[in-house]
Amino acid sequence: MKRIVDNGYFNLIIITALFILFVEVVFFHSGFIFALLVAGAFIYIGRKRLPRRSGKILFWIGIIGAILNLVNTVAFQFLVIAIFFYYLFHFVKSKKEPVYITPITESRESLRAQRQLLKNSFISRQRTDETVYEWSDINIQNVWSDVVIDLSYTVLPKGESVIFIRQLAGNVTIFIPYETEISVNHSSMAGAVTIFDHAQSFAPLQNVYMKTPEFDEASQKIKVMISMGVGSLEVKRI
């Protein structure tokens, strides 16, 4: 129940911040969109010219410009203050009502660390190995990243495997073997979606849930959950 309340609180913060940003841009800070577009142009041109020095310079000028534009908005300041008071409230509450955990020492379970296929990142381009690799579930968070996942080089274990990606911006491409059943739950503030033959062009507030006909009965299957701010998702058969 506490997790549901926490998620509801954070959703309320995000929605309120977006509403404040909308009002601020429309009525008080009309140059924000133009400045953000200029920063986006620097980032786009810089990425195209990477890894050359001029590309790095343009890219980081765009990143810094975009961050400075966002930091100067009332919406961002509200977001920081709201999150600060949220954690302050829980910190004070934990001091007044500490939770005591009694360790269970009757038996010890052996745990084995799994190799992570992809990692959390700030800005990156990531992809799974292009040679045969052992599968492990993917759960990553990025700020700005292009991600490519190719399942044709691995064998999924029995049961349900999971790909969970949350990022602010970037593109995600997933290659799925023809015999693999899949479900896709995707949401974004703005972007395009292509899942096999189903395509939705770039649009705001994308929310798509699809699955193959035999997904529920399949002994081997993959569940894909993608949440992003701006970017595209492409799922292809291979």
Residue 63 sits in the same domain as residue 125: no
Position 110 in a domain: no
| CA-closest candidate to residue 125, choices 144, 140, 138 | 144
Position 199 in a domain: yes
Position 104 in a domain: no
Position 101 in a domain: no
Residue 131 sits in the same domain as residue 187: yes
Domain interval for residue 181: 121-237
- Domain stop point among 63, 96, 129: 96
Position 12 in a domain: yes
Residue 164 sits in the same domain as residue 229: yes
Q: In this model, does residue 112 exceed pLDDT 80?
A: no
Q: In this model, does residue 1 exceed pLDDT 50?
A: no
Residue 139 sits in the same domain as residue 233: yes
Tokens 């292809």 belong to: 236
pLDDT in tens, 58-98: 888 888 888 888 888 887 888 888 878 877 877 777 666 66
Residue 88 sits in the same domain as residue 125: no
Radius of gyration of the chain (CA): 21
Tokens 């002994």 belong to: 219
Position 89 in a domain: yes
Q: Going by C-beta distance under 8 Å and a sequence separation of 6 or more, which residues neighbour residue 191? A: 202, 203, 206, 228, 230, 231, 232, 233
Residue 130 sits in the same domain as residue 232: yes
pLDDT in tens, 182-192: 999 999 888 88
Residue 134 sits in the same domain as residue 226: yes
The pLDDT value recorded for residue 234 is: 94
